[in-house]
Amino acid sequence: MTQKAAQEMGIFEVMYNNRAMRRLDSREIPEDMLVKLIEAASQAPSGSNMQNGRWIIVRDPTIKQRLAELNRAGVEAYIGPQGSNSGGLPHQSEDKRQRMLKAVMWQMEHLHEIPAIIIACMEFEQKVDSATMARSAGSIWPGVQNLLLAARAMGLGAAPTTLALARQSAVAEILNLPETMAAFCLIPVGYPLGNFGPVSRKPVADIMRFDGWSN
């Protein structure tokens, strides 16, 4: 699909076909496309309209390498020595989960080769702690989702990740963040190596009720 055709996708088509794309080409992304992603992210709402999202696009190979090391530690801890987390879920077959974990492993091995790693941060104007981060996260995730939708519409693959960000002090050191800023999401972005496709979600009848919860 050409970029122009992709940008003509309707909003619902974008939302329903926006899988986490982890296998990405190392081909460079034009800078104006990267800036457009951040502009799209910044259109999202924030609590009290604080607009305190801050976005770092990492292209420097040394910095990417250091982030890749943090991600490796996070993924290894998540997957565990016995490859736990690999069983199926009620809504995801073991086969599909295995495929996802393989993609997570691919991303772990290749993160430093992905052309752009975008870090969604927030600025708090005072020293930030984990309680503040937890309270405020709702103001950065709408921007992350906007970015993911914009990437899909532009024919770029992306995935929201957090495993690399467990050690905030290490992230702050690598990205030169002041003590008033924190990192919430790391989004590798590139041209996809695989195919875009529909997401698979629980049926709406399972997850909604009118007027109050009933079983």
Ligand X SMILES: Cc1cc2nc3c(=O)[nH]c(=O)nc-3n(C[C@H](O)[C@H](O)[C@H](O)COP(=O)(O)O)c2cc1C
Query: For binding to ligand X (CB under 6 A), which residues are involved?
Result: 19-20, 22, 100, 104, 107, 159-163, 199
* Pick 31 or 96: Cβ nearer ligand X: 96
Closest approach of ligand X to the CB of residue 145, in Å: 9
Residue 206 C-alpha from the chain's centroid: 26
Among 71, 77, 65, 179, which residue's Cα sits nearest to residue 121? Answer: 179
Least separation in angstroms between CB 83 and ligand X: 15
Min dist CB 75 to ligand X, Å, is 7
Residue among 42 and 92 whose Cβ is closer to ligand X: 92
Closer to ligand X by CB, 6 or 103: give it: 103
**What backbone phi and psi angles, to 5 degrees, belong to 175?**
-100, 5
Question: Which one, 94 or 179, has the nearer CB to ligand X?
Answer: 94
CB of 94 to ligand X, least distance (A): 14
